């Protein structure tokens, strides 16, 4: 038997690809939204609000939907979370707002569909011509935002709203970060990430500069000189390796890179194996596995080294993978790769059990044309290693206002500690923007006092 190499593009006709990558959960109709909105009890000090990292006043916006005040509903959402549209689509609401909905105390899994309602309201807003917020009077202050992901975008929007001039730098050609390059396509279907960015930018005062790589084409020290403040929303640019010598063989890819290729290409041009093994237990693993299946892979197996209950992907995500034909296997640790002439042929796993470790004698092999690694992303501090930025436990250290140890430099999102969620990144960016604004206004007032 010769070497097997079976990675190909265009496994499915374009019509099927379009169906497979269509909106995973289409938006509510006006009638559906009205019915769902009426289910909300309009709790006082609602637990759902507390469970939202951006603290959206959920009962208020749902009440507004119920009364057909969609401008009010969307404004309520967007003033707390300018990326409320993508959060409505990508948030694991089952472990956030909807988990705390008091309806779940009456009947499990019957929370008010807060995410779907939020999408309904924000979709309405995005179909309006005018931006709901106006910039305050120009302050003449310039702020650099590094990283055009959710944290950076939220920060930039809030700064622009406060009257500052913002430049966003990103290594990619287009803004959006994980929303544009990292999330499964069917979660942000119909080019939503780009539409949302256009909407966000339409407030004015925000300039985007792509192809800008921190540590290469620009430095933090340089930015500090040219701008009154800097916000770092640089995310996690590294991926963990399996640690095998032959990991560089053809067919073994980072799931993050696989998804990025998929998100930036025509679907029929994205290569995928006939048999795909995804290693990992998080949302990236699920996104990679389901999308591989949607591209036309015949067999997709997601292998996680621990049990289902330990996966960082939520049960809803897990079910989504299974519904889409992904086989899940638990308690199996990658042991070695099977390769032939520099091409992956399969991967061998050691079986394990809770509290017992993994037994290499008890192993199984999955044939694979493609192995996608989704075992975690890590913060890479190289671009800022010459700056006075304190990094601890692999993340940038910030205070409650997003301040780093370097004066005038703030950070937020995945590159700082905390939950790696889009909605948490938005909160970080927004709050850092307010802190930057406060600082710039104080220094401006001081300067005025001196000049006066």
Closest approach of another protein to the CB of residue 47, in Å: 6
* Residue among 67 and 138 whose Cβ is closer to another protein: 67
Footprint of another protein on 296-315 (CB under 8 A): none
Would you count residue 38 as binding another protein (CB under 8 A)? yes
Closest approach of another protein to the CB of residue 70, in Å: 16
Closest approach of another protein to the CB of residue 56, in Å: 17
x/- mask, another protein, residues 46-65, rule CB under 8 A, reads xx------------------
Closest approach of another protein to the CB of residue 68, in Å: 11
Would you count residue 29 as binding another protein (CB under 8 A)? no
Please tell me the count of residues contacting another protein according to CB under 8 A: 15
Using CA atoms, how far apart are residues 39 and 16, in angstroms rounded to an integer?
37
Would you count residue 45 as binding another protein (CB under 8 A)? yes
Q: Which among 349, 301, 305 is positioned nearest to 322, based on CA atoms?
A: 301
* Residue among 46 and 70 whose Cβ is closer to another protein: 46
Would you count residue 41 as binding another protein (CB under 8 A)? yes
Closest approach of another protein to the CB of residue 108, in Å: 12
Using CA atoms, how far apart are residues 266 and 285, in angstroms rounded to an integer?
21
* Residue among 70 and 297 whose Cβ is closer to another protein: 70
Would you count residue 66 as binding another protein (CB under 8 A)? yes
Would you count residue 438 as binding another protein (CB under 8 A)? no
Region of 33-41, 262-270, 328-336, 387-395 interacting with another protein (CB under 8 A): 33-41
Would you count residue 72 as binding another protein (CB under 8 A)? no
* Residue among 46 and 423 whose Cβ is closer to another protein: 46
* Residue among 38 and 419 whose Cβ is closer to another protein: 38
Would you count residue 364 as binding another protein (CB under 8 A)? no
Footprint of another protein on 105-144 (CB under 8 A): 105-106
Region of 38-46, 214-222, 327-335, 414-422 interacting with another protein (CB under 8 A): 38-46
Closest approach of another protein to the CB of residue 102, in Å: 4
**213-222 long-range Cβ contacts below 8 angstroms, 24+ apart:** 213/171, 213/383, 214/146, 214/169, 214/171, 214/383, 214/384, 215/382, 215/383, 215/384, 216/383, 218/146, 218/169, 219/386, 219/387, 220/146, 220/383, 220/384, 220/387, 220/389, 220/406, 220/409, 221/386, 221/387
Footprint of another protein on 84-103 (CB under 8 A): 102-103
Would you count residue 34 as binding another protein (CB under 8 A)? yes
* Residue among 10 and 72 whose Cβ is closer to another protein: 72
Choosing from 8, 43, 213, 441, the residue that interacts with another protein (CB under 8 A) is: 43
Closest approach of another protein to the CB of residue 312, in Å: 23
* Residue among 19 and 106 whose Cβ is closer to another protein: 106
List contacts with another protein (CB under 8 A).
34-35, 38, 41-47, 66, 102-103, 105-106
């Amino acid at each position: 038997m010769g070497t097997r190499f079976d990675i190909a593009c265009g496994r499915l006709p374009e019509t099927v690809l379009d169906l497979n990558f269509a909106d995973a959960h289409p938006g509510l109709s006006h009638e559906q939204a009205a019915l769902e909105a009426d289910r909300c009890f309009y709790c006082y000090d609602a637990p759902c609000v507390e469970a939202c990292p951006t603290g959206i006043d959920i009962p208020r916006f749902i009440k507004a939907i119920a009364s057909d005040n969609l401008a009010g509903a969307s404004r309520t959402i967007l003033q707390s979370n300018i990326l409320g549209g993508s959060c409505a689509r990508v948030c694991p609401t089952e472990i956030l707002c909807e988990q705390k909905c008091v309806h779940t105390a009456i009947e499990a899994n019957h929370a008010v569909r807060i995410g779907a309602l939020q999408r309904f309201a924000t979709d309405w807003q995005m179909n309006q011509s005018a931006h709901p917020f106006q910039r305050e009077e120009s302050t003449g202050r310039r702020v650099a935002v590094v990283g055009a992901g959710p944290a950076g975008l939220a920060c930039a929007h809030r700064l622009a709203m406060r009257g500052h001039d913002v430049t966003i730098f990103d290594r990619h050609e287009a803004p959006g970060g994980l929303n544009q390059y990292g999330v499964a396509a069917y979660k942000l279907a119909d080019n939503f990430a780009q539409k949302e960015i256009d909407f966000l930018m339409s407030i004015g005062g925000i300039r985007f500069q792509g192809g800008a790589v921190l540590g290469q084409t620009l430095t933090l020290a340089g930015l500090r000189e040219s701008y009154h403040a800097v916000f770092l929303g640089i995310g996690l640019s590294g991926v963990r390796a399996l640690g095998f010598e032959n990991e560089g063989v053809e067919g073994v890819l980072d799931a993050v890179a696989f998804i990025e290729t998929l998100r930036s290409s025509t679907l029929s041009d994205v290569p995928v194996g006939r048999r795909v093994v995804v290693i990992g237990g998080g949302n990236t693993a699920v996104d990679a596995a389901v999308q591989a299946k949607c591209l036309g892979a015949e067999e997709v197996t997601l292998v996680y080294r621990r049990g289902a209950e330990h996966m960082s992907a939520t049960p809803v995500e897990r079910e989504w993978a299974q519904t889409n034909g992904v086989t899940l296997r638990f308690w199996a640790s990658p042991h070695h790769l099977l390769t032939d002439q520099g091409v992956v042929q399969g991967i061998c796993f050691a079986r394990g059990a809770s509290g017992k470790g993994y037994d290499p004698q008890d192993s199984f092999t999955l044939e694979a044309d493609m192995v996608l690694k989704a075992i975690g992303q890590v913060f890479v501090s190289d671009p800022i290693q010459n700056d006075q930025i304190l990094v601890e436990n692999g993340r940038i250290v910030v205070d409650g206002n997003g301040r780093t140890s370097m004066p005038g430099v703030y950070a937020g999102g995945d590159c700082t500690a905390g939950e790696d969620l889009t909605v948490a990144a938005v909160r970080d960016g927004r709050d850092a923007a307010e802190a930057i604004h406060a600082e710039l206004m104080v220094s401006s007032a001081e300067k005025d006092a001196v000049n006066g």
